[in-house]
Amino acid sequence: MPTINFSKNDLLDLLGGRDDFPDILPLTGIQIEAIEEDDMAVEIEANRPDMFSVEGIARYLKGFLGIEKGFVEYPVVEGDFTVYVDRTVEKVRPYIGAAHISGIRMDDRLIKSLMDLQEKLHATVGRKRKKLAIGVHDSARIGREIIYKAVRPEEISFVPLAKEEEMNLREILEKHEKGREYAHLLEGKERWPILMDSEENVLSFPPVINGQLTALNKETNEIFIDMTGTDLKVIKSALAIFCAALADRGGRIESALLRYPDMELEMPDMVGEEMDVSLDYVSTLIGVKIPENDAIELLEKARFSAEVLDRAIRVRIPPYRVDVLHPVDIAEEIAIAHGYRNLAPELPKSVTFGRRLEEHRLKEAFKESLIGLGFNEIVTLTLTNNGDQFEKMGIREGEAVRIRNPITEFHTSVRRWLLPSIMSTLSKNRHRDLPQRIFELGAVVYDDGKNRTHLAGAVMDDRASFTLIKSVVERIMEDTGNKLTVSEKEHPSFIDGRCASIIVEDREAGFFGEVSPRILANFELEHPVSAFEIFFDAIGPRNHFLG
């Protein structure tokens, strides 16, 4: 949970001098961490980014304290900023949002609050700037036409924030502390994003650093906000949070026009959305019958507005409330405003006794059997790549479920069987003493997109053989109440004539054998390996002794 630090007196000023808020905060789900003279720290749930600033906390508390209730109207007047979005950013950071705030009275408290809010949004909804990066600029120093484009690293130079020397984009990534921290976000990109005005004054190099030219100071009275990223919905929500905080400080919100190559947008959107919620549904969830008028009053206390419909209420959701996605979220807000302390506890109307699923009990039985045979359990990543899954295992044609936007070249697909992971683990531990006996029970995904459970194991030892692994398979199947037969099988990962299918109730439930020397060489292994893989779902918790 993010910790928010702010001035206690600042919060008092925003609440009009009401000093009884420490008693109310815990009732709203905000945990007080510390109050030391004027310094205050609270913990906020990660799903409430609208309260990552003292302004957002004050806004919410005003409803609970009765100072201000209902939906906060944030008027947006037409501004004179236009942002031109070039096609060159499509493969780097394709989206941008913007707004202009005028009439600001800047002081140390507000600067600190804005910087803290910016960093908290970066770390949470922004996924450490990968999904969202925010720039805040003194707009008196720039023109009203802004260009967002991608350039080659050596084409543009400017003075980055907190520095005095001019650097090009590559030098910033190499020399500036923020550049080194966020360089990975631009890895593999030929062109990098830049934001400048029509006179080529650089505002920022997103998602890395702003320019020193537009740095905020106590003389700043108008602010231009830019938000770049990969998710337009996240950008719109974060922009609403930022604009609401500045409007709560007396700022005037002015729109910005965003001209994309194939569309035009006007931001920010401070209207919010509506959701229809059944009061019967709410009452069922929280266990208290809530009359219509009471529900409306409670929602206004939580800074929503609502009106009565036929057998339901229509709730207007503030644009900064990005956590409200479903009627259950409205029910939670009503419960919080009603007060959890006011909900009378009651015993369950029926008594039930739980027990473990047979599937889980069977899995434990397999594990206990293998551990009894001297095997150690491993857990490996579900994400892999076709090279490890098929090519290194001697399979010429194989297909796995692919990841659309892989983070690395080593995690481009989802594994479809476990033995490659077993072999990789043996390869990484080839310098360890022999014998090595390992197994894994885990999920795989077939090309139909459905999850399956497999059990795989291997023995690496000078005495590892087909006979050895056959005895292991027979023992674990006997220990778990499974009767099996074996039949000869050809498999590219195993030595010809030393591989067999596991047959349970006339269907193949796995295979085992002695791994081919060619496969051992692919994994740089110098000792024999015998291995097995069981399709757990083909066995299932049927006629076992485990009941």
The amino acid sitting at 147 is I
Residues whose CB falls within 8 Å of the CB of residue 163, separated by 6 or more in sequence, listed in order: 176, 212
**Helical residues (DSSP H) of 15-134, grouped into ranges:** 21-24, 54-65, 108-123
Beta strands in 397-461 (DSSP E): 413-414, 436-445, 451-460
Q: Report whether pLDDT(255) > 90.
A: yes
Distance, CA of 97 to CA of 130 (rounded, Å): 15
- pLDDT-based confidence at residue 297 (cuts at 50, 70, 90): very high
Q: Report whether pLDDT(543) > 60.
A: no
Q: Is 303 helix (H, G, I), strand (E, B) or coil?
A: coil
Distance, CA of 134 to CA of 369 (rounded, Å): 55
The predicted structure's pLDDT at residue 194: 96
Q: So what's the architecture of 76-267 in CATH?
A: 3-Layer(bba) Sandwich (3.50)
Q: So what's the architecture of 3-65 in CATH?
A: 2-Layer Sandwich (3.30)
**Of the candidates 458, 447, 377, 453, which has an alpha carbon nearest to the alpha carbon of residue 414?**
447
The predicted structure's pLDDT at residue 540: 63
Stretch among 104-113, 194-203, 351-360 having the lowest mean pLDDT: 351-360
**DSSP code of residue 483:** -
Distance, CA of 162 to CA of 213 (rounded, Å): 10
The amino acid sitting at 85 is V
Residues whose CB falls within 8 Å of the CB of residue 521, separated by 6 or more in sequence, listed in order: none
Averaged pLDDT for residues 374-387 = 90
pLDDT digits (tens, 9 = 90+) for 30-42: 889 888 888 999 9
The predicted structure's pLDDT at residue 27: 85
In percent, the amount of the chain with pLDDT more than 90 equals 71
- pLDDT-based confidence at residue 386 (cuts at 50, 70, 90): confident
Distance, CA of 268 to CA of 252 (rounded, Å): 12
Averaged pLDDT for residues 445-473 = 91
The residue whose two tokens read 């990066």 is 133
In whole angstroms, how far apart are CA 240 and each of 72, 114, 123, 164, 244? 12, 14, 17, 33, 6
Structure tokens of 150? Answer: 């991608």
Edge to edge, the sheet with strand 451-460 lists 376-377, 436-445, 451-460, 529-535, 507-515, 494-504, 485-488
pLDDT digits (tens, 9 = 90+) for 306-327: 999 887 899 999 999 999 999 9
Q: Is 12 helix (H, G, I), strand (E, B) or coil?
A: helix
CB 99 within 8 A of CB 254: yes
Residues whose CB falls within 8 Å of the CB of residue 315, separated by 6 or more in sequence, listed in order: 274, 275, 276, 277, 299, 304, 305, 306, 330
Q: Residue 265: in which H helix or E strand, if any?
A: strand 264-267
Structure tokens of 339? Answer: 């007060």
Q: Is 468 helix (H, G, I), strand (E, B) or coil?
A: helix
The predicted structure's pLDDT at residue 547: 31
The predicted structure's pLDDT at residue 546: 34
pLDDT digits (tens, 9 = 90+) for 217-240: 989 999 999 999 999 999 999 999
Q: Report whether pLDDT(290) > 50.
A: yes
Supply φ then ψ for residue 50, to 5 degrees. -65, -15
Measured distance between the N- and C-terminal CA atoms of the chain, rounded to whole angstroms: 43
Structure tokens of 522? Answer: 């692919």
Q: Does domain 358-539 have CATH number 3.30.930.10?
A: yes
Distance, CA of 182 to CA of 185 (rounded, Å): 6
Q: Do domains 3-65 and 273-342 have the same CATH topology?
A: yes
Stretch among 212-216, 388-392, 403-407 having the lowest mean pLDDT: 403-407
The predicted structure's pLDDT at residue 170: 94
Task: Using CB atoms within 10 Å of the CB of residue 84, give its burial: 0 to 12 exposed, 13 to 18 middle, 19+ buried.
Answer: middle
In whole angstroms, how far apart are CA 347 and each of 282, 342, 344, 367? 19, 16, 10, 38
Q: Is 296 helix (H, G, I), strand (E, B) or coil?
A: helix
**Of the candidates 455, 435, 453, which has an alpha carbon nearest to the alpha carbon of residue 443?**
453
Residues in the chain: 547
Task: Give ∠ CA 224-210-101 in degrees, rounded to 5.
Answer: 10
Structure tokens of 106? Answer: 């800047």
**Fold type of domain 273-342:** Phenylalanyl-tRNA Synthetase; Chain B, domain 1 (3.30.56)
The predicted structure's pLDDT at residue 422: 94
Domain boundaries, the chain: 3-65, 76-267, 273-342, 358-539
Top-confidence residue, 371 or 544:
371
In percent, the amount of the chain with pLDDT more than 70 equals 98
Structure tokens of 92? Answer: 């780097």
CB 132 within 8 A of CB 232: no
